[in-house]
């Protein structure tokens, strides 16, 4: 269990991360222009225009908004609009004909619904994957209050008597991931509560009402120093994949592809990494 040494992910001076991103942007802007693939970008590099509508999972709100700022700097004639909501709700909207160019989902199941329904852009899918392109992952962490009153160090500690644990209900995605991680560990942990979503688990930990809870690494980062996140090896069995894809309904697949490239670029990856997302 040496791998499961508590790893503090709560504190991170945001300024240095931003500075690094900014520096990367300066260095890579030139390359980006040269890299524009023939037929996939606009006629001439950097001359993209029009409106771009991105449907994305709620957990991507902060990172996509940040990536969009850089995207607008590079393509000033492009207007980017977001629709952030739960992935399955977005999938239903897309399959009902909502006008979207790009869909980024929080799990593969919802992307499969869209692939089976509205469908991805055929040319894009042939190149990047029929079920979309997995661009980030999200991994479970053990969240504990900053003073860690129960001295939790690994998943097995959650099974100890007298340790109060909050899990997501199995009905929601983080609860399914929790079950997968516990199955992988062979542990039998009985929580005091099955919360309705991952934010509710986080609240119970932040208030110190439970000794530990299982949340995503991005939740640990977003809650700052109010909780501490511990990595644990069994989480590798329950990694959530985030796929992105250009939709067949997109009126401008070149523009949509440019957004996917911005997200999967080194700058985009840096933003996602700083927010706690993993690389696939």
Partner 1 sequence: MSAATPGRSGPASRGRAPRPKSGRVPWILVVPAVAGVLFLVLPFAGMLVRAPWPTMGARVTDPTVLAALWLSLSTATVATVVSLLLGVPLAWLLARTEFPGRRFVRALVTVPLVIPPVVGGVALLLVLGRNGLVGRYLDAWFGLTLPFTPAAVVIAQVFVAMPFLVISVEGALRGADRRYEEAAATLGADRVTVFTRVTLPMVLPGIGAGAVLCWARALGEFGATITFAGNFPGATQTMPLAVYMAMQRDPEAAIVLSLVLLLVSLVVLATLRERWVNAS
Q: Which residues are annotated as a binding site for molybdate?
A: 59, 87, 198, 216
Instruction: Decide if residue 171 touches partner 1 (CB under 8 A).
Output: yes
Between CA 41 and CA 198 the distance in angstroms is 38
Which residue ranges are tagged as binding site?
59, 87, 198, 216
Shortest distance in whole angstroms from residue 162 CB to partner 1: 11
Q: Name the residue nearer to partner 1 (CB basis): 103 or 167.
A: 167
Residue 94 · residue 103 · CB < 8 Å: yes
- The smaller minimum CB distance to partner 1, of residues 18 and 109, is found at 109
Count of residues near partner 1 by CB under 8 A: 17
Look up residue 174 and give its two tokens.
Answer: 């983080």
Determine the 3-state secondary structure of 98 from DSSP. coil
Q: For the CB of residue 241, give the shortest distance to partner 1 in the complex, in Å.
A: 21
Answer yes or no: are the C-beta atoms of 201 and 178 closer than 8 Å. Answer: no
Q: What are the respective helix, strand and coil percentages of the chain, to the nearest 5?
A: 45, 20, 35
Q: Per-residue x/- marks for partner 1, 175-214, CB under 8 A?
A: ----------------xxxxxx---x--xx--xxx-----
159 binds partner 1 (CB under 8 A): no
Tell me whether residue 19 or residue 207 sits nearer to partner 1 (CB atom). 207
- Cβ burial of 15 (10 Å; 0-12, 13-18, 19+) is exposed
Which residue ranges make up the site for partner 1 (CB under 8 A)?
A: 164, 166, 169, 171-172, 191-196, 200, 203-204, 207-209
């Amino acid at each position: 269990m040496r791998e499961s040494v508590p790893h503090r992910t709560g504190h991170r001076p945001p300024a240095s991360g931003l500075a690094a991103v900014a520096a990367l942007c300066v260095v890579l802007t030139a390359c980006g222009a040269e890299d524009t693939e023939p037929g996939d970008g606009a006629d001439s590099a950097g001359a993209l225009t029009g409106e771009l509508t991105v449907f994305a999972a709620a957990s991507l709100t902060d990172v996509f908004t940040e990536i969009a700022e850089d995207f607008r700097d590079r393509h000033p004639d492009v207007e980017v609009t977001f629709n952030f909501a739960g992935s399955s709700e977005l999938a239903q909207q897309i399959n009902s004909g909502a006008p979207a160019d790009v869909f980024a989902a929080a799990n593969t199941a919802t992307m499969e619904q869209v692939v089976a329904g509205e469908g991805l852009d055929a040319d894009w899918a042939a190149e990047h994957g029929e079920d979309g392109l997995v661009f980030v992952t999200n991994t479970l962490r053990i969240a504990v209050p900053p003073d860690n009153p129960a001295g939790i160090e690994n998943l097995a500690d959650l099974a100890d008597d007298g340790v109060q644990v909050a899990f997501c209900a199995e009905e929601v995605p983080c609860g399914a991931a929790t079950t997968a991680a516990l199955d992988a560990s062979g542990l039998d942990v009985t929580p005091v509560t099955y919360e309705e979503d991952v934010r509710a688990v986080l609240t119970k930990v932040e208030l110190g009402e439970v000794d530990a809870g299982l949340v995503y690494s991005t939740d640990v980062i977003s809650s700052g120093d109010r909780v501490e996140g511990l990595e644990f090896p069994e989480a590798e069995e329950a990694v959530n994949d985030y796929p992105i894809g250009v939709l067949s309904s997109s009126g401008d697949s070149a523009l949509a592809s440019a957004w996917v490239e911005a997200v999967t670029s080194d700058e985009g990856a840096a933003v996602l990494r700083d927010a706690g997302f993993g690389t696939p």
